[in-house]
Amino acid sequence: MVPVPPDDQPTDRPPVVLVDGLSREQVLEAVGDARATSDAPLDLEGHGSSGVAVLSLALHQRRLGLEIAHVACLDARGEDDPVSGRPLAPPTAPRVATALTFVPGKDDASRAWTARTVDAFRAVGWTVELLT
């Protein structure tokens, strides 16, 4: 059975917004700071390459000791994950209920990457919303 995040789950904190072009250290520092300020699950919003980073964090959250309620990936094009320095790993079935929201950019590369990525996450059981 696939975990489904509750729709009425209150958020005790605003989303952590990560702009495009952040380094590994900057992404991890921002997430670590947010984690230190509250015990509530994280809500991460990544733009561009940081969108790839937050997807990777969602995939590996148990191993990393994170609890992520929601990830938004905006205007990504499939750049390497700034945290690992590698392309985003193929998604596996979710082990923790985490909702994903994707918003493609206006260019063909972003729309194509977003469509492929949304399909890949849905195919293995993630809760995914695509906003256009």
For the chain, the domains span 16-130
Fold type of domain 16-130: Rossmann fold (3.40.50)
From residue 88, alpha-carbon distances to 10, 40, 76 in Å are 29, 26, 11
- The confidence score (pLDDT) of residue 11 equals 54
Q: In the numeric block, which tokens belong to residue 91? A: 């998604």
- The confidence score (pLDDT) of residue 4 equals 46
User: Degrees (nearest 5) of the Cα angle 22, 112, 6?
Assistant: 70
- To the question of pTM greater than 0.85 for the whole model, the response is yes
Q: What is the per-residue pLDDT across 78-117, written as a single tens digit (0 to 9) for each?
A: 889 999 999 999 999 999 999 999 999 999 999 999 999 9
Q: Is the pLDDT of residue 3 over 50?
A: no
Percent of the chain with pLDDT over 90: 86
Average pLDDT score over the chain: 91
Task: State the DSSP H helix or E strand holding residue 34, giving kind and residue range, or none if neither.
Answer: helix 24-37
